[in-house]
Amino acid sequence: MTKLEIASLSASSERYIGTQGGGMDQAIAFLGTKGCAKHIQFNPLLSEDVKLPDGAVFVIAHSLAVLNKAKTSDFNCRVAECHLAAQIMAKKRGLSWEKVSSLADLQSAVSASLVEMVDLVKELLHEEPYSKEEICGELEVSEGFLDQLSLSSNTTHISHFKLHQRALHVYQEANRVRAFQEVCQNETVSSLALMKLGELMRESHESLKNLYECSHPNLDKLVYLGEGRALGSRLTGAGWGGCIVALTTKDTVSDYINTLKEKFYKGNPAAVGKDLDSLVFATEPNTGAEIYKLEQ
273 and 87 in contact (C-beta within 8 Å)? no
197 vs 52: CA distance, rounded Å: 10
pLDDT (tens digit, 9 = 90+) per residue, 181-221?
Answer: 999 999 999 999 999 999 999 999 999 999 999 999 999 99
Domain coverage including residue 7 = 1-51
255 and 241: one domain?
yes
Tell me which DSSP letter residue 52 carries. Answer: P
Range in 211-215, 235-239, 244-248 the model is least confident about: 235-239
Q: Which residue among 190, 215, 240 closes a domain?
A: 215
> 84 and 194 share a domain?
yes
Are the C-beta atoms of 19 and 75 separated by less than 8 Å?
yes
Rounded to an integer, the average pLDDT of 142-167 is 95
The CA dihedral of 89, 94, 99, 103, to the nearest 10 degrees, is -30
Pair 41, 76 in one domain: no
The pLDDT tens digits for 116-143 are 999 999 999 999 999 999 999 999 999 9
| Whether residue 84 is found in the same domain as residue 167 | yes
Return the closest-CA partner of residue 279 out of 65, 23, 56, 79: 65
User: Which pLDDT belongs to residue 258?
Assistant: 97
pLDDT, residue 224, reads 97
Please name the amino acid found at residue 262.
E
CA distance 1 to 138: 44
Could you tell me if 133 and 232 lie in one domain?
no
Are residues 166 and 43 part of one domain?
A: no
Question: What CATH number does residue 89 fall under?
Answer: 1.20.1440.340
Q: Residues 150, 89: one domain? A: yes
Rounded to 5 degrees, what are φ and ψ at 240? 55, 30
Assign 67 a pLDDT band (cuts: 50, 70, 90). confident
User: What pLDDT band is residue 20 in, cutting at 50, 70 and 90?
Assistant: low
Task: Let me know whether 189 and 92 are in one domain.
Answer: yes
Indicate the number of domains in the chain: 3
- Residue 19 pLDDT: 67
289 and 193 inside one domain: no
Per the model's pLDDT, the better-predicted residue between 168 and 152 turns out to be 168
According to DSSP, residue 40 is labeled E
Residue 72: the pLDDT is 79
Q: Are residues 211 and 161 in the same domain?
A: yes
- The answer to whether residues 148 and 260 belong to one domain is no
Q: DSSP state, 70?
A: T
Same domain, 102 and 174: yes
Cα separation values, 17 from 4, 66, 142, 153, 174, Å:
22, 18, 28, 12, 27
Domain boundary among 195, 215, 235: 215
> pLDDT-based confidence at 15, cuts 50/70/90?
confident
* Secondary-structure percent of the chain, ordered helix, strand, coil, rounded to 5: 50, 15, 35
Nearest to 234 by CA among 262, 254, 210: 210
Close Cβ partners of 86 (under 8 Å, ≥ 6 residues apart): 100, 101, 102, 103, 105, 106, 167
Average pLDDT, the chain: 93
Catalytic (active site) residue 25? yes
| Cα separation, 110 vs 206, whole angstroms | 28
Mean pLDDT of 19-30: 81
Identify whether the C-beta of residue 243 lies closer than 8 Å to the C-beta of residue 63. yes
Element (H, E) at 235: strand 232-236
Q: Are 236 and 202 in contact (CB under 8 A)?
A: no
Task: Give this prediction's pTM.
Answer: 0.92
Residue scoring higher pLDDT (43 or 131): 131
Last residue of a domain, one of 181, 215, 249: 215
Q: Domain containing 62 — which CATH number?
A: 3.30.70.3170
* pLDDT bucket at 18, cuts 50 / 70 / 90: low
Candidates 25, 49, 74, 147; catalytic one: 25
Work out the average pLDDT over 33-56.
91
